[in-house]
Amino acid sequence: MLRKLALAAVAALTISASSALADDALFHDLGGRDGIATIVDDATANFLADPRIKATFDNTNMDRFKTNLTDQLCVVAGGPCVYKGQSMHDAHKGLHLTNADFNALVEDLQAGMDKVGVSFATQNRLLARLAPMNRDVVTK
Amino acid sequence: MRIDVLAALAAVSTSLLAIAPAFADDAPQPASSGSVIDQGMSMFDDGKLLATGGVSDLEGAGGGGLATWALTTGYGTRDGVGLDGHFTYIALPDYSLWTEGVAVGLWDRVELSYAHLTFDTEKVGAALGLGKDFEFDQDVVGAKVKIVGDAIYDQDSWLPQIAVGAQYKSTDHVDILHAVGAKSGDGTDFYVAATKLFLEESLLVDVTLRETKANQFGILGFGGDKNDSYSSEFEGSAAYLFSRDFALGGEFRTKPDNLGIAKENDAWDVFAAYFINKHVSVTLAYLNLGNIVIKDNQQGAYLSLQVGL
């Protein structure tokens, strides 16, 4: 009986250890914080060149935006970062963004990840965690 | 007949592919406050992500090929509309089937569709005394409404996007349909579709339940000598997304078996869909419809082209 319990405990520990490893797998697949920072650089250049959404950033401090977005994606991907920016809801309040705006941003982010060579499957693992933010970002 | 149709499709495809690059990199312009035409065109916001409108299925609704999905056709978001048309040609060993149609998606909520199916009996027509290349024509008018969920955004939930819909189908040559045992030349299908994109896995899955009396999608009428009540049928698709513009998948669809003259089989396909851009997509499939009247193993090529605003 004790032996079975011990085995179960070992099994449980193994499972939790492997899930802890799996949790930052995406962070590593995106190239760590440096990789994410490069993606954010490219994506931000795309945002600012995109006639559909560039006006959204008219009053944005882009350096701070890039730092915040990098930290946020790092956290979302399971990395050891701290996001110091506003909540998604507060950050987008009053911007009247549409679903089309949100998707335009996704397309620009995808293009950024393409440029860095992030595989489509890995891109989708990140986008799957970002997609629900649609509810806080789209206010129109 | 088959050669004419193929030639026409090839011509249409070629001309559309020639137009496609012109669309490919036209970054949508901000909504203009200019002319009425500009304002009208801005309704077509093209705001959905590539491939998330699905393609046009056999019956003209947004879906795969055999299965109708819960997704609203086209690329209009909840603030816009999408409009598309399709041409589909199916070459079976002993028959051919051609469908064309148009569909509109309103506010990513409501879908209205119309399709015209032409079923060419080729040599079987002669064998049955109808005449070679005898054709059955069917009109399908469909409506679909999204009830709950979002297949794309609700990635933190197991809830799929769920839509309900109806398709009114009307087939000509009712006297012949009666002669083969069908009870009616027209009928209405009702369905509930659940579709979800498992983005983490790059996998799109659809499960649809359909209440129908249709024999061979309605091409052989509705109800029959063996059974004249509604049957609950299943249709489903699974598609793996290899990239933003390319998916491979398979589908399965059960059908009623109402007619005494021939056993009707379930249908399946494997397909490849290529989304050239938000205006043009091409779907190629290998489709198996099983037995159709006096001919077994009706499997062949399915080629579909969708164009949209």
Structure confidence at residue B34 (pLDDT): 64
Kindly state the DSSP code that residue B261 receives in the 8-state scheme: T
Residues in chain B within 8 Å Cβ distance of A140: 79
Distance CA B274, CA B248 (A): 9
Evaluate whether B256 touches B227 at the Cβ level (below 8 Å). yes
* Pairwise CB contact (< 8 Å): A121 & B45: no
Whether this model's ipTM surpasses 0.90 comes out as no
Shortest alpha-carbon distance between residue B206 and chain A (Å): 18
Give the span between the Cα atoms of B62 and B167, in whole angstroms. 12
| Contact with chain A for residue B152, Cβ under 8 A | yes
Taking only the tens place, the pLDDT of each residue in A94-121 is 899 999 999 999 999 999 999 999 999 9
pLDDT of residue B26: 45
State the DSSP string of A58-69.
TT--HHHHHHHH
CB contact under 8 A, A106 and B49: yes
Confidence check: pLDDT of A87 > 60? yes
Position B225 scores a pLDDT of 96
What domains are there in chain A, each with its CATH number? 23-137 (1.10.490.10)
pLDDT at B22: 43
Give the mean pLDDT of chain A. Answer: 89
CATH number at residue B112: 2.40.160.40
C-alpha to C-alpha distance for B50 and B273, rounded to whole angstroms? 12
Task: Provide, as residue numbers in chain A, all residues whose Cβ is less than 8 Å from the Cβ of B202.
Answer: 120-121, 124
> SS3 for B247?
strand
Query: CA–CA separation, B72 vs B55, rounded Å?
Result: 10
Q: Is B229 helix (H, G, I), strand (E, B) or coil?
A: coil
Q: Residue B44 domain-assigned?
A: no
Cβ–Cβ below 8 Å for A120 and B242: yes
DSSP B161-176: EEEEEEEEEEES-HHH
A98 vs B30: CB contact, 8 Å cut-off?
no
Give residue B38's pLDDT: 76
CB B302 within 8 A of CB B275: no
- Assigned domain for B46 exists: no
Q: What's the confidence (pLDDT) of residue B39?
A: 73
B203, β-bridge pairs: B198, B240
- Chain B partners within 8 Å of A47 (Cβ): none
Please provide the DSSP assignment of A107-134 as one string: HHHHHHHHHHT--HHHHHHHHHHHGGGH
Amino acid at B31: A
Q: Is the pLDDT of residue A88 over 50?
A: yes
State the DSSP H helix or E strand holding residue A20, giving kind and residue range, or none if neither: helix A2-23
Q: How many angstroms away from the CA of A68 is the closest CA of chain B?
A: 23
Q: Which residue has the tokens 């997304």?
A: B241
Tokens, residue B247 = 């998916």
Residue segments in chain B with a per-residue pLDDT below the cut of 50: 1-3, 5-6, 8-10, 12-32
Share of chain A above pLDDT 90, in %: 81
| Domain annotation covers residue B49 | no
Q: What is the pLDDT of residue A22?
A: 52
Looking at the domain assignment, is residue B40 inside a domain?
A: no
Instruction: Report the residue of B152, B201, B242 to disrupt the A interface, i.e. the one with the largest count of A CBs within 10 Å.
Output: B152
Q: Which two tokens stand for residue B251?
A: 């589908």
CA distances from A9 to A5, A12, A18, A20, A110 (A): 6, 5, 14, 16, 42
Binary contact (A103, B27; C-beta < 8 A): no
Residues 192-251 (B) with a CB less than 8 A from some CB of A:
199-202, 241-244
Give the CA angle between residues B281, B283, B288 to the nearest 5°.
165
Q: Is residue B98 part of a domain?
A: yes
Residue A12 pLDDT: 52
Report d(CA A80, CA B222) in Å as an integer.
62
Unique residue bearing structure tokens 């087939």: B171
CA distance B155 to A26: 16
Cβ within 8 Å, pair A120-B78:
no
Q: What is the mean pLDDT of residues A62-79?
A: 97
- Reported as a single tens digit per residue, the pLDDT across B18-37 is 444 444 444 444 444 567 77
Residues 6+ apart with CB under 8 A from B205: B160, B195, B196, B198, B236, B237, B238, B239
Chain A residues whose C-beta sits inside 8 Å of any chain B C-beta = 50-52, 55, 98-101, 103-104, 106-107, 110, 120-121, 124-125, 127-129, 131-132, 134-135, 140
CB contact under 8 A, B202 and A121: yes
Residue range of the domain that includes B198: 2-25+54-308
Domain count of the fold of chain B: 1
Instruction: Choose the closest CB to B155 out of A106, A120, A131.
Output: A131
Nearest-angstrom CA–CA distance, B124 and B85: 30
**Nearest of B257, B258, B276 to residue B266 by alpha carbon:** B257
pLDDT bin (cut points 50, 70, 90) of residue A4 is low
